[in-house]
Amino acid sequence: MSEISPLQIARASYQPHLPKVLAKCGPFATAKKGAATKSVADQAAIKKLFPDTYGLPVIEFTAGKKPAKAPKAIKVGVILSGGQAPGGHNVIAGLFDGLKALNPKNQLYGFLGGPDGLINGDFVKLDAKTIDAYRNTGGFDMIRSGRTKLDTDEKFEKVLANCKKEGITGIVIIGGDDSNTNACTLAQYLLAKKAGIQVIGCPKTIDGDLKNAWIEVSFGFDTATKVYSELIGNIMRDANSARKYWHFIKLMGRSASHIALECALQTHPQACIVSEEVEAKKFSLAKIVDDLTKTVVDRAKNKMNFGVVLIPEGLIEFVPEIKVLIAELNDLLAKSEKAFNALDTVEQKAAFVEKKLSKDTKKVFASLPAFVKAQLLADRDAHGNVQVSKIETEKLLADMIADRIKALNAKAEKKIKFSAQCHFFGYEGRCAAPSNFDANYCYGLGYNASALLNAGVTGYMSSVRNTSAPVEQWIAGGIPLTMMMNMEHRHGKDVPVIKKALVELKGAPFKAYAKVRDAWAKGIEFRYPGPIQYFGPSAVCDQPTCTLSLEHAPAKKK
Ligand code: FBP
């Protein structure tokens, strides 16, 4: 094991707080069941696909008593699925502690490398020593993660066989919307097979797009946005000190702009593009560049040749004409894969696709700089989609603005100075040591999963709610996975999936930003959140995100 830093040593002894009911009754809390539920949309189709798990009630844990005799010992498997998010280890630690509180003989199996571990039967038995080494640490390195989908009967059969072999009767899947969609399908499959194996999901993703009326936030969002906001604040100080650069900062978030918006609310940049607004208002790339150029020019008139622009990673796919271009390219590359891959240079590849694109799209493609063309033509992900994190949107915008300024300067007497620096913040935040919020939230989600297993239910997502209040007031329970599902058209087929939560233009976080953005564009209203604090006054250490506070602000008394 490598040397442990002083902070890690101090942090290892942090005991996360649990929602009151779990702190008091442990995993023996009573599962109070509400009324039957329905899916967010497409009820008939979802009911047909999930006959055994559709309509399950919402669960809220209330006081319960430890039985005189410990429940029968069980074996449970856990996987981490998808992109890393701060707090994953604490979910496992909470689950481990909950299982041991139920019966010290309970065993937790960590399946390695995500879903692949479950499919291939590749696991480690997690013991107290291993768990202790990872408490309150970032990363997923305890059992690693993977992006393989658990989506076919063939894979489910292998999972079932591996569980049967080991005598595992519970599976906890820690993942995002896709992984929890798969958890829902697996739960239905195992019920139909009368396998006696429960499946519980836990909401993970820094992107913050796995949320709804019942799941207030996915874990990792709090820590990751705090890390990015610290870095953005540092850059703002630098920008305001040197007064010579415009910084273009792309922020992770595969589709939704929650991360960029949260960071904007924390730091007050000159501009933050919100992809959902771009799509709703059909802003073209030219319009986005024109608006940003105007901000640059207006500030230059006031001798402010500096500023900060935040750009969500998924932007490119929300710009209408580029969306069409990407769709055409995806189709084309899927159909002509062999011929395309046989070409050696990017120029040859670009010429090849240009011949096959529709008239308008060809113009759009031709207007893009060579490096973006190359990135758009690069390898697709496992699902045949362009990998947005590899497209340098920040550089694209900076270059296009530079061209506009050059054209203006050619005609103007007084020249505008414009010099850009580009950044991409993503991986920097995904494995940070979890903030107190994420440390508590994740531990609670894991511990709560053990209570759901004890309650004998399957097809649920572990839920900890009321999270903008102090931890003691958090509410523990379970939400039926089918409740979050709807039908979506993906890769030519209608499939059941958990509905992704994009930024809502009528939602409080976007409205809060829209109200102040013009003032931020003109002035120097930077806010410096500083680094995450793990020890110290609660006002500094336990701040929830602006997004959570705004979305779940307690109703004002009239
Ligand atoms: P999840 O949705 O799996 O949590 O992953 C989110 C994310 O961090 C995105 O923000 C980003 O686009 C993507 O993962 C990057 O994926 P990879 O780790 O495969 O490069």
Of the candidates 485, 503, 502, the residue with the CA atom closest to the CA atom of residue 494: 485
* CB of 313 sitting under 6 A from ligand 1: yes
Of the candidates 81, 283, 290, the residue with the CA atom closest to the CA atom of residue 182: 81
CB 534 within 8 A of CB 11: yes
DSSP letters spanning 507-550: SHHHHHHHHHHHHHHHS-------S--SSS-HHHHSPPPHHHHH
Whether residue 1 lies inside any domain: the answer is: no
DSSP 3-state of 212: coil
- The arithmetic mean of pLDDT across residues 407-418, rounded, is 96
Contacts 24+ apart (CB under 8 A), 518-524: 520/268, 520/269, 520/270, 520/271, 521/270, 521/271, 521/295, 521/298, 521/299, 522/298, 522/299, 522/302, 524/240, 524/304
Tell me what pLDDT residue 315 has. Answer: 96
CB 447 within 8 A of CB 95: yes
| Domain harbouring 399, CATH code | 3.40.50.460
Range of the domain at 44: 17-220+434-498
Tell me what pLDDT residue 556 has. Answer: 52
Report the mean per-residue pLDDT for the chain: 95
Cα 520 off chain centre by? 27
Looking at the CA of residue 314, tell me the nearest atom of ligand 1. 12
Same domain, 73 and 195: yes
Q: How many residues does the chain have?
A: 558
Cα 194 off chain centre by? 33
- The arithmetic mean of pLDDT across residues 98-108, rounded, is 98
Same domain, 143 and 289: no
Same domain, 346 and 375: yes
Looking at the CA of residue 252, tell me the nearest atom of ligand 1. 10
CA gap 267, 232 in Å, rounded = 7
* CB of 253 sitting under 6 A from ligand 1: yes
CB 17 within 8 A of CB 10: no
Mutation pick for ligand 1 pocket among 207, 259, 502 (CB with most ligand atoms within 8 Å): 207
Tell me what pLDDT residue 379 has. Answer: 84
Of the candidates 542, 382, 422, the residue with the CA atom closest to the CA atom of residue 473: 542
Same domain, 254 and 333: yes
Same domain, 283 and 295: yes
Whether residue 377 lies inside any domain: the answer is: yes
Nearest protein Cα to ligand 1, atom 12 = 254
**Structural domains counted in the chain:** 2
Nearest protein Cα to ligand 1, atom 6 = 83
Q: Please confirm, yes or no, whether 207 is among the known catalytic residues.
A: yes
pLDDT in tens, 120-139: 999 999 999 999 999 999 99
Same domain, 277 and 184: no
Whether residue 8 lies inside any domain: the answer is: no
Tell me what pLDDT residue 334 has. Answer: 83
* CB of 114 sitting under 6 A from ligand 1: no
Does position 83 have pLDDT exceeding 50, yes or no? Answer: yes
Whether residue 187 lies inside any domain: the answer is: yes
Could you tell me which residue, 213 or 520, shows the higher pLDDT? 520
Same domain, 261 and 410: yes
Whether residue 382 lies inside any domain: the answer is: yes
- The arithmetic mean of pLDDT across residues 417-427, rounded, is 97
Structure tokens at 304: 């402010």
pLDDT in tens, 441-492: 999 999 999 999 999 999 999 999 999 999 989 999 999 999 999 999 877 7
Does position 554 have pLDDT exceeding 70, yes or no? Answer: no
Same domain, 262 and 307: yes
* CB of 399 sitting under 6 A from ligand 1: no
| Domain harbouring 24, CATH code | 3.40.50.450
Of the candidates 233, 272, 234, the residue with the CA atom closest to the CA atom of residue 253: 272
Does position 101 have pLDDT exceeding 50, yes or no? Answer: yes
Same domain, 423 and 441: no
Tell me what pLDDT residue 558 has. Answer: 44
Tell me what pLDDT residue 382 has. Answer: 67
* CB of 83 sitting under 6 A from ligand 1: yes
* CB of 312 sitting under 6 A from ligand 1: no
Whether residue 556 lies inside any domain: the answer is: no
Same domain, 451 and 519: no
Cα 500 off chain centre by? 10
- pTM here is 0.96
Whether residue 485 lies inside any domain: the answer is: yes
Catalytic residue among 97, 116, 207, 209: 207
pLDDT band at 557, cuts 50/70/90? very low
Whether residue 512 lies inside any domain: the answer is: yes
Tell me what pLDDT residue 212 has. Answer: 94
pLDDT band at 201, cuts 50/70/90? very high
